[in-house]
A and B are shown apart, each in its own frame.
Chain A
Amino acid sequence: MQVFGVKLPAMSSLLLWGLLWEIVGQMGLTFFVPPLSQVFATLFEIIGTPPFLKALWETGYAFFMGVFFAIVIGIPVGILMGKSRFLDELLLPWVNIFVSAPLTALVPVLMVLFGFGLTSIIITTTLFAIWIIILNARAGVRQINRSLVDMARSFGASPLDAFTKIYFWAALPEILGGVRIGVIRAVKGVIIGQLLISIVGFGALFELYASNFLMGHFWAVLIILFALAFSISEFLGYLERKVAYYAAKR
């Protein structure tokens, strides 16, 4: 962003919005928006407390387990779909349905199937993240240069070699893009799971603060959650840029 010819550092617009928030908050227009300074004061107040750390652990655990399963299932499935016409025709309709489906509506079904515990929350998180990961891995494999595959075969690559040494790496830029979007979706999934299935983790904090009109606390947790999601997403974006040098030249 440039203002009067001066290049401002990335995200300096946030300062402006933060200022606006502070002004609106100080004016006391609505209990819903406390001043930003108060939100940050609350943030530093609660960040070390046992209830917060417990919530962070519960949410973090469900989140990382959900993302883990989405990645270890999603990437191979996507690669196999990209490689095999048969698997592709078999699975693609389902993937396309689920990638755009309102998954929140499925959560009650998961509760019936898997109970009210951690399992259902992890599965919800996985379901939010996995479809875009599959689609991206598939897209990455489908644009692979045929002669790379021929090359591997001509030098006697086993199917496993071709998978781990050619297909995975050739599709890596798209795979990372898919994982990045999947992780952002997984944040939604884990919070929705913790609100709807069992009131634990950050979901429980949101529920507690919102029902007691503790808006400072509410916004503080939301900001922490946003910061965490943003950091993970930026880290994956950084990995994506590291492989971008060959993304255009496969």
Chain B
Amino acid sequence: MAMSQIDTPFADASMAAPESAVSVRGVSKNYGAVEALKNMSLEFPKGQLTSLLGPSGCGKTTLLKIIAGLIPADSGTIEVGGKAITGPGDDRAFVFQDFALLPWANVLRNVAFGLELRGVAKSEREAIAETYIANVGLAGFEKAFPHELSGGMRQRVGLARALSVDSQVLLLDEPFSAVDEQTRRKFQEDLLSLVENENKTFIFVTHSIEEAVYVSDQIAILLPRPSRVSEIIRPSSFRNKGVENIRRDPEYLDIVDEIWASLRNYVE
């Protein structure tokens, strides 16, 4: 299991730093005169979920898109699996806030679309896609079109598409913000078991403090003007107590309060 090394509160402090799947080193990005990111450095431990959390305008989505290779950084380097990146690559897969599904294609083709672009033969990619469609709980909807699905189901399609390319790093840009609260809770639980079972590195952008604390192994608090990493929090004691107990755990509640205390000054 990926996170067994942090069973006790101080385990990670006494151990050598876990291996990084993604390293952000001195990344800056300007939009004209606006400094979106300034000399930002951050490590993303392998096999864990790291949240980028902060008020709007803190550059969290910009950072995620730079890691994805969708936006070039003005300076600094991004390393994924030890190699500096220059653009999008097979080692990363992206889950979009608005799902970004092809409205003219059915669920099967949408899920297989990442593999289609990577040149995988039709029968092979559809077999892989069907596995992941079943994994995200959409078996039977292969022939349905996105407009026939609910928001939550559409994001499951987006998730299945990202999983089916089997990238080492999953980049999730506020993936649950466009789905309703109950679906969102279910998603968060599913995400936890995904992190546990898939042995991938997750980078998760969110504006919800509760959500970040609930799902994360590591939370990077980003503050705006100028954009910087103000704090890195590693919840340690409640992760293995079961999904239904996390929200009552004293450490969970403390961390939520602590984060709110440091963010409240930045909310208009």
Contact = CB atoms under 8 A, between A and B. Distances in A.
Contacts of A246: 103-104, 145, 147
Q: B interface, by DSSP: helix, strand, loop or mixed?
A: loop
A151 B96 contact: yes
A155 B165 contact: yes
B132 interface: no
Given A145-B98, A145-B100, A169-B102, A155 B113 contact: yes
A166 B109 CA distance: 13
A42 to B, nearest CB: 47
Contacts of B165: 155
Task: Select the residue from B69, B103, B113, B145 with max chain A CB neighbours within 10 A.
Answer: B103
Interface string A146-190: 011011111111000100011001001000000000000000000
Interface stretch (B16-24, B85-93, B224-232): B85-93
Nearest to A169: B104
B94 A151 contact: yes
Given A150-B70, A151-B94, A157 B117 contact: yes
Q: A interface, by DSSP: helix, strand, loop or mixed?
A: helix
A155 B97 contact: no
A172 B104 contact: yes
A243 interface: yes
B146 interface: yes
Contacts of B88: 153-156
Interface residues of A, number: 21
Nearest to A246: B103
Interface string A133-150: 000000000000101101
Given A147-B96, A154-B69, A249 B89 contact: no
Interface in A44-89: none
Contacts of A145: 98, 100
Contacts of B92: 154
A241 interface: no
Given A147-B97, A249-B147, A155 B117 contact: yes
A171 to B, nearest CB: 11
Interface in A211-249: 243, 245-246, 249
Contacts of A172: 104
A36 to B, nearest CB: 44
A169 B103 CA distance: 9
Contact of A156 (B89, B96, B102): B89
A150 B65 CA distance: 9
A127 B150 CA distance: 45
B114 A155 contact: yes
Nearest to B99: A147
B145 A245 contact: yes
Contacts of A245: 145, 147
B103 A154 contact: no
A150 B145 contact: no
Task: Select the residue from A150, A154, A155 with max chain B CB neighbours within 10 A.
Answer: A154
B260 to A, nearest CB: 30
18 contacts: A145-B100, A147-B98, A148-B100, A154-B69, A154-B70, A154-B94, A155-B88, A155-B94, A155-B118, A156-B117, A156-B118, A165-B116, A165-B117, A169-B102, A169-B104, A245-B147, A246-B104, A250-B103
Given A153-B88, A246-B145, 5 more contacts: A147-B98, A150-B94, A172-B104, A246-B104, A250-B103
